[in-house]
Chain A
Amino acid sequence: MVIIFYIASIISFIATIAVVTRKNAVHALLYLIVSLLGVAVIFFVVGAPFVAALEVIVYAGAIMVLFVFAIMMLNMGKNSEASESNLMNFGTWIFPAVLCLVLLCEMIYVLYVDGVGGASVTTIGPVEVSRSLFGGYVLAIELTGMLLMSGIVGAYHIGREKKKEYHRYLQSNEMTHE
Chain B
Amino acid sequence: MSELPINAGLVLAALLFLTGLLGVLIRRNILFMLMSVEIMFNAAGLAFVLGGAKWGEADGQVMLIFILAMAAAEVSVGLALILQMHRLFKSVDSDVLSIMKD
**B side interface size, CB within 8 A:** 61
Cβ–Cβ contact B32 & A151, under 8 A: no
B72 touches A62 (CB 8 A): yes
Question: Given the complex of chains A and B, what is the CA–CA distance between A29 and B36 in angstroms?
Answer: 11
Kindly list chain B residues whose C-beta atoms are within 8 Å of the C-beta of A73.
83
Number of A-B residue pairs with CB-CB distance less than 8 Å in the complex they form:
183
In the bound complex, residues from chain B placing their C-beta under 8 Å from that of A137 are 62
B interface: dominant SS: helix
CB neighbours of A121 from chain B (8 A): 4, 53
Residues of chain B at the chain A interface (Cβ within 8 Å): 1-6, 8-9, 12, 15-16, 19-20, 22-23, 26-27, 29, 31-32, 34-36, 38-39, 42, 45-46, 49-50, 52-53, 56-62, 64-66, 68-77, 79-84, 86-87, 92
Q: Tell me the A residues contacting B by CB distance below 8 Å.
A: 1-2, 5-6, 9, 12-13, 16-17, 19-20, 25, 28-29, 32, 35-36, 39, 42-43, 46-48, 50-51, 54-55, 58-59, 62-63, 66-67, 69-71, 73-74, 76, 118-122, 124, 128-129, 131-133, 137, 140, 144, 147-148, 150-152, 154-156, 158-159, 161
